[in-house]
Amino acid sequence: MIHVSGITKKFQDHAVLDCIDLDLKQGEVKVVIGPSGSGKSTLLKCIGALEPFDNGSVQVGETRIEGPASRSRSGSDQDKLRQIRLSAGMVFQQFHLFPHLTALENIMEAPVQVLKVSKTEAETTAKKLLQQVQLGNRADRYPRQLSGGEQQRVAIARALAMNPKCVLFDEPTSALDPEMVGEVLSVMRELADKGMTLLVATHEMDFAKEVAGEILMLDQGRVVERGTPSMVFGNPSEQRTRRFLHRITHR
Amino acid sequence: MPFQHKTLILWVLIGLTAVPSVSAGTLEDIRAAGELQWGADAEGGAPYVFPDPDQPDQLIGFEVDLADAIAKQLGVTARMVQTDWRSLIPALQRRDFHIALNGIEWTGERSRVVDFSRPYYIYEQQLVVRSDENRIRSVNDLGGKTVGTLAATVAQQMLEKRGDVTLKVYEGQVQPYRDLELMRIDAVFMDWPIAAHYARPNPKLKFAGAPIGEGLYVIALPKGDAEFSGRINKILEDLYADGTLQGIYEKWGLWNLKQVSLRESDHSARKVFTGGTDNGLGVYLPLLLKGAGMTVLISIAAMALAMVFGAAVTLTRLMGGRLLKPLAVAYVEIMRGTPLLLQLYIIYYGLPNIGISLNAFTAAVLGLGLNYAAYESEIYRAGLESIPKGQHDAALSLGMTRWMIYRRILIPQARRVVLPPVTNDFISLFKDSSLVSIIAIVELTKSYNMLAVSSMKFLELGLLTGALYLMMSLPLSVLSTRLEKHLAIS
Ligand SMILES: Nc1ncnc2c1ncn2[C@@H]1O[C@H](COP(=O)(O)OP(=O)(O)OP(=O)(O)O)[C@@H](O)[C@H]1O
Ligand SMILES: [Mg+2]
């Protein structure tokens, strides 16, 4: 489903992603951990075709794009990037709901505008998705009238409305008050149970242990350790991983 | 005491502005200064006072010669003090110079606030039309026509009094003839010396009928200095008697037999046009309101243009290709970096040189609108850039195209942000609209200026005009503040 091979990205001379490989099969869930600034967001944005990269390649579904092509303005490359964006749903740390639209309209917007689905059909789907994230009674609220946890669940529904092949989560619970983390994680758990392919940057250890097939530890743009949750959390081989885990469990 | 009958408040205001209404000792002032300072406006043009075409730093004209001759009699040199023509009388009241000598016509209103010398020239008004004109043969044929004239002149008052012509009032002497050639107006009615200098040599124009409406050019003198006015009158008498005046007028092609009457010392029996009577403010209000209506009309039309065109410039700047983007940037820089006044001049008086002749209203709306479009476009750009990048990322990740992101996500959010600054800009545009008076549009400020100059009620009419502007701009200010508060809350 997702094939990342040797991608590298530099800001000026500083390598933010340094030759990263990553594979997710259909239905797999993987979790990326790592200290602040290690490149988690950048990695997800490169996979989701929101950021160009320099070398290597990204493939999502059937569509593959090489580093240089990710910066190209040519029509065929732009089409490929758009294809990848349509295949990979994105959920952001800061939700990024559209503040001028209601929850329902946030979900309907892209299906109607991009996929040209009829309004009535989009509304039916959107309402169903709101039910699925336990927000059936919040359809007409604007983002500012919703709690953080509710906003993030609407954001998940918005991504799902485009029928993506996989969903990329960038620290979806880091901006939330602790009591709201659970409701978001349970929605994600449900998705995993249904067989959705998920790539999640998160520091929620319990969630990772429970649903992730593999954990990747990122530091300074490199994968410094990877393995099953029990391997990485139970018996990390790297000093850096150990220190990082110690820090986040003793916060 | 011109304002004696006015209310107490006005009295206090006049007291604060401290206009001395009786003055003495002007001759001593001149002797002490070693020069005769005379107020005039070189922008007014030939043949009165104007820059020498061969030596533009030198002023020439028949009034320069006259001032020199008077100064010589006083034993000093003459120095011209450049002053906007319509401000000559108030400036003399403030003693900015010793005399005002610049084609000033004797009128009853003016003689209430300054003293006048005996006349130094007897002028008439001349109607000028295009050479191929055959319907307008004299002023009797002017009914329903559009006629150009110079602001704040007797000619303007005469036309106003007729009431059956559409008046176009100009600040300069050249522009009316130019607009006549361009068919923007049907005829020009102005002082004979101006017509003799500008229209007579122009093959495209011709005189229609004989000159009419005799009037006197006089020198304006400080009010109440009898010694000084006696001296000036004596000098003028002598200059006539020894042939100096005739020499000057012959040199400038202005001599005619009418001038023989200058010899007489009493002109009070002469049937000169004396302008209107001393009216109460109520008479002026409808005229000011009409000007205000034009101000509102122009402001709204120009703002609509500015908002639409500004949006086009912003989108070109953000989304245009390598070719269009610099064009949009250049547009904004040029419009913001050059004076609006210059832009208006170029649009109205300059474009006809390349075959584009716009009417005054269109030119005014276009000039103001295109200028403000640059400012609006910068507001829009700042508004769009204030939207967090995450909004763009989220929309992009949903597969939206660039244009869709602007149209559906960014612009609707930016619209709220830009509303208060755009309202503020509307208020400034509203005030800047007074600049379009230079292209012969009579809006509020122009109406004020015309009425104040002819009635000498600069203060009362000024306060009234200010009140009208406030009545129109205050609601906008309130709206802008409300919007800002509203946005701060949500
Ligand atoms: N636009 C940019 N220009 C320059 N450097 C950038 C830019 N965006 C990110 N970086 C740098 O790239 C590195 C990786 O950033 P990234 O946001 O991917 O880290 P992260 O692992 O998501 O961190 P966090 O846990 O704080 O979200 C950081 O050192 C950051 O400073
Ligand atoms: Mg991040």
Q: What does the block give as tokens for A9?
A: 């990205």
The candidate with the shortest Cα–Cα distance to B38, out of B83, B74, B105, B75, is: B83
Judged by CB atoms closer than 8 Å, whether chains meet at A110 and B399 is answered as yes
- Cα-Cα-Cα-Cα torsion A238, A241, A242, A243, nearest 10 degrees, comes to 120
ipTM of the complex: 0.95
| CB proximity A48 to B under 8 Å | yes
Judged by CB atoms closer than 8 Å, whether chains meet at A92 and B393 is answered as yes
Other beta carbons within 10 Å of B56: 9
pLDDT of residue B8: 38
Q: How far is B409 from chain A (nearest CA, A)?
A: 7
Per-residue pLDDT tens over the stretch A200-245: 999 898 999 999 999 999 999 999 999 999 999 888 888 889 999 8
pLDDT of residue A188: 95
* Whole-number Å distance between alpha carbons of A99 and B334: 36
Judged by CB atoms closer than 8 Å, whether chains meet at B397 and A99 is answered as no
Measure A238 CA to ligand 2 centroid, in angstroms.
22
pLDDT of residue B293: 92
Other beta carbons within 10 Å of B304: 12
Q: Nearest chain A residue to B390 by CA: give it.
A: A96
Measure B195 CA to ligand 1 centroid, in angstroms.
76
Q: Which run of H or E residues covers position B72?
A: helix B62-74
pLDDT of residue B157: 85
Pair B418, B352: CB distance under 8 Å: no
* Whole-number Å distance between alpha carbons of B316 and B330: 12
Pair A121, A172: CB distance under 8 Å: no
- Provide, as residue numbers in chain B, all residues whose Cβ is less than 8 Å from the Cβ of A99: 413
Q: Nearest chain B residue to A91 by CA: give it.
A: B394
SS3 of B264-284: CCCCCCCCCCCCCCCCCHHHH
Measure A221 CA to ligand 1 centroid, in angstroms.
10
Mutate to test the pocket of ligand 1, among A7, A18, A40 (most ligand atoms within 8 A of CB): A40
Q: How far is B427 from chain A (nearest CA, A)?
A: 28
Judged by CB atoms closer than 8 Å, whether chains meet at B390 and A50 is answered as no
| Distance between first and last Cα of chain B | 59
Residues of B with CB under 8 A from a CB of A: 388, 390-391, 393-401, 404, 408-409, 412-413, 416, 490
Per-residue pLDDT tens over the stretch A171-199: 999 999 999 999 999 999 999 999 999 99
Q: How far is B490 from chain A (nearest CA, A)?
A: 8
Q: Is the peptide bond before B47 cis (omega within 30 degrees of 0)?
A: yes
Residues 6+ apart with CB under 8 A from A67: A7, A8, A52, A53, A54, A55, A56, A57
- Atom 6 in ligand 1: residue holding the nearest Cα: A11
pLDDT of residue B149: 93
Q: How far is CA B25 from CA B22, B75, B110, B373, in A?
A: 11, 16, 22, 55
| Distance between first and last Cα of chain A | 35
Mean pLDDT by 10 residues, chain B (490 residues): 36 41 76 93 83 80 95 94 84 88 85 87 93 91 92 85 88 88 93 90 92 90 90 92 91 86 70 55 82 93 96 91 91 95 90 84 94 96 94 96 94 89 92 85 81 75 92 88 73
- Provide, as residue numbers in chain A, all residues whose Cβ is less than 8 Å from the Cβ of B393: 45, 50, 90, 92, 96
Query: Is residue A251 very low, low, confident or very high in pLDDT (cuts 50, 70, 90)?
Result: low
- Provide, as residue numbers in chain B, all residues whose Cβ is less than 8 Å from the Cβ of A98: 391, 394-395, 409, 413
Judged by CB atoms closer than 8 Å, whether chains meet at A114 and B404 is answered as yes
Spell out a b/e string for B136-162, using b for 16 or more CB atoms within 10 Å of the CB, else e. Answer: beebebbeeeebbbbbbbbbbbbbbee
- Atom 17 in ligand 1: residue holding the nearest Cα: A41
- Cα-Cα-Cα-Cα torsion B9, B13, B18, B22, nearest 10 degrees, comes to -40
Q: How far is A192 from chain B (nearest CA, A)?
A: 21
Q: What is the pTM of this model?
A: 0.77
Q: In sequence order, what E strands does B261-338 have?
A: none
Tell me which ligand sits closest to the C-alpha of residue A34.
1
* Whole-number Å distance between alpha carbons of B378 and B440: 30
| CB proximity A98 to B under 8 Å | yes
* Whole-number Å distance between alpha carbons of B19 and A6: 86
Q: Which one-letter amino acid corresponds to residue B488?
A: A
* Whole-number Å distance between alpha carbons of A67 and A46: 10
Judged by CB atoms closer than 8 Å, whether chains meet at A109 and B394 is answered as no
* Whole-number Å distance between alpha carbons of B303 and B426: 7
Atom of ligand 1 nearest to the CA of A221: 14
- Provide, as residue numbers in chain B, all residues whose Cβ is less than 8 Å from the Cβ of A107: none
Tell me which ligand sits closest to the C-alpha of residue A40.
1
- Provide, as residue numbers in chain B, all residues whose Cβ is less than 8 Å from the Cβ of A48: 397
- Atom 24 in ligand 1: residue holding the nearest Cα: A36
* Whole-number Å distance between alpha carbons of B58 and B71: 18
Query: Domains, chain B, ranges and CATH?
Result: 17-120+218-271 (3.40.190.10), 122-214 (3.40.190.10), 281-489 (1.10.3720.10)
Give the strand pairing for B35-40 and B99-100.
parallel
Judged by CB atoms closer than 8 Å, whether chains meet at B398 and A85 is answered as yes
Give the strand pairing for B121-130 and B187-191.
antiparallel
* Whole-number Å distance between alpha carbons of A243 and B234: 108
Query: Is residue A61 very low, low, confident or very high in pLDDT (cuts 50, 70, 90)?
Result: very high
Name beta bridge partners: A30. A199, A214
Measure A34 CA to ligand 1 centroid, in angstroms.
12
Q: How far is B303 from chain A (nearest CA, A)?
A: 26
Per-residue pLDDT tens over the stretch A120-176: 999 999 999 999 999 999 999 999 999 999 999 999 999 999 999 999 999 999 999
* Option in A88, A110, A155 nearest B400 (CB): A110
- Candidates A114, A152, A166, A167: best to mutate against B (most CBs of B within 10 A) is A114
Hey, is B176 helix, strand or coil? Answer: helix
pLDDT of residue B11: 39
* Whole-number Å distance between alpha carbons of B305 and B310: 8
Judged by CB atoms closer than 8 Å, whether chains meet at B391 and A98 is answered as yes
Measure B392 CA to ligand 1 centroid, in angstroms.
18
The candidate with the shortest Cα–Cα distance to A32, out of A185, A200, A169, is: A200
